Amino acid sequence: MSTHINPNLNRRRRQLTVDDLFNSLRQGDISALSQAITLIESTNREDTAFAKAILSKALPYSGNSFRLGITGVPGVGKSTFIEALGIHLIKDQRKVAVLAIDPSSSISRGSILGDKTRMEELVKSDRAFIRPSPAGTTLGGVARKTREAIILCEAAGYDFIVVETVGVGQSETAVHSMTDFFLLLKLAGAGDNLQGIKRGIMEMADMIVINKADGDNKRAAQQAVREFKNALHVMPAKTHGWTTLVTTASGLEQQGITEVLNCITDFKNHSYANDSFKRKRDHQEIYWLHQTIEDHLKSRFYNQPDIQQRLTSIEKQLLAKQITAFEAADLLLGL
Ligand code: GDP
């Protein structure tokens, strides 16, 4: 008898809690938002089901924000810059959420972005929400959680979402494919110059900001602007007709922040006018669908005990030239 009653009760209690949490989140309750994101990040089965329910409730209320991706090496001044930007935005009555994708959390457990106390001023504002990078074993997993966190933040009324990352592995591509505008922070001079820039990053950037353009650094920053402009000049134009802007800023002295926000406004006007804003978001949705399918298929395949057992011996056969890589794959895939 009790087996009949309990599941219903649980379901009702569960349902109530999903609704409660979601309603609090919708009213802008920061702790409800935090809790919901924690559920998304959890690997516990029950939490996952709970998180799914919250997400599907949040989905109709999502999408109404500007999503800004920011990348730059550790020490380039991301926290300081985002804080300056955030303070500017909240003065303008915007609500700002700062999320992060830290690939190092999956590689070394230590986190490049999350460990230090960051954005101390911004965090005090009730119009700001700052969340460190989720942990995860794969970048795909970390990115998925951040994408879902974006949906929750938007449903909670945040209309400006910043997703930051460091330029490690494919994390920049992940951030680029979940944001509307991609900003590359660079330093003038040695260590972070044009030569060291990864292929593809320049193409991804909608704006390049030479940061720390203050004090003795100003002249070098102007020189870096010229170099980046020249480099961009010889690159193919962006498909949606946007010209990447290069400028200087100082997060520390809060210089250049207005210019960055003006550039974002221009970009918005431009991409709304030619419909590329929506097209990019649609494209991102499709991309994440396929990405998620691929991740699932892959982990489902490799997690099969049979495959785990046979893989090592087939790898040995491969290295002993008893079999080609293609034959080996066919065998494991059962083709
Ligand atoms: P992140 O690792 O990219 O998040 O960089 P942080 O914002 O933590 O900054 C790294 C260091 O650079 C800190 O010591 C900051 O005080 C300093 N810094 C950040 N922004 C600026 C800036 O605009 N100008 C100068 N001169 N220093 C800065």
Tens place of pLDDT per residue across the chain (335 aa): 334 445 455 555 555 689 999 999 999 999 999 999 999 999 888 899 999 999 999 999 999 999 999 999 889 999 999 999 999 999 999 999 999 998 765 444 445 555 446 788 899 999 999 998 888 878 888 899 999 999 999 999 999 999 999 877 788 999 999 999 999 999 997 556 666 676 688 889 999 999 999 999 999 999 999 999 988 888 877 878 899 999 999 999 999 999 999 999 999 999 999 999 999 999 999 999 999 899 889 989 999 999 999 999 999 999 999 999 999 999 999 98
Residues written for the chain: 335
Atom of ligand 1 nearest to the CA of 217: 26
Distances (CA, A) of 127 to 69, 84, 98, 159, 286: 19, 14, 11, 10, 31
153, 41 Cβ separation under 8 angstroms: no
For 105-114, what is each residue's pLDDT tens digit? 544 444 555 5
How much is the pTM? 0.88
Residue of minimum CA distance from atom 10 in ligand 1: 75
> Looking at residue 61, what DSSP letter applies?
G
Cα-Cα end-to-end distance for the chain: 49
> Looking at residue 52, what DSSP letter applies?
H
Q: What's the gap in Å between 267 CA and the centre of ligand 1?
A: 26
| Residue-wise burial string across 74-100, b where 16 or more C-beta atoms lie within 10 A, e elsewhere | eebbbbbbbbbbbbbbbeeebbbbbbb
Q: Which of 55, 77, 35 is nearest to 212 (CA)?
A: 77
Residues near ligand 1 (Cβ within 6 A):
72, 74-80, 211-212, 214, 250-252
Q: What's the gap in Å between 217 CA and the centre of ligand 1?
A: 13
Residue of minimum CA distance from atom 11 in ligand 1: 75
For 266-283, what is each residue's pLDDT tens digit? 999 999 999 999 999 999
Q: 138 by DSSP, 3-state: which?
A: coil
Mutation to probe ligand 1, out of 112, 171, 252, 253 (largest number of atoms < 8 A from CB): 252
Q: What's the gap in Å between 255 CA and the centre of ligand 1?
A: 13
Q: What's the gap in Å between 259 CA and the centre of ligand 1?
A: 19
Q: 143 by DSSP, 3-state: which?
A: helix
Q: 98 by DSSP, 3-state: which?
A: strand
Q: How far apart are CA 138 and CA 84, in angstroms?
A: 31
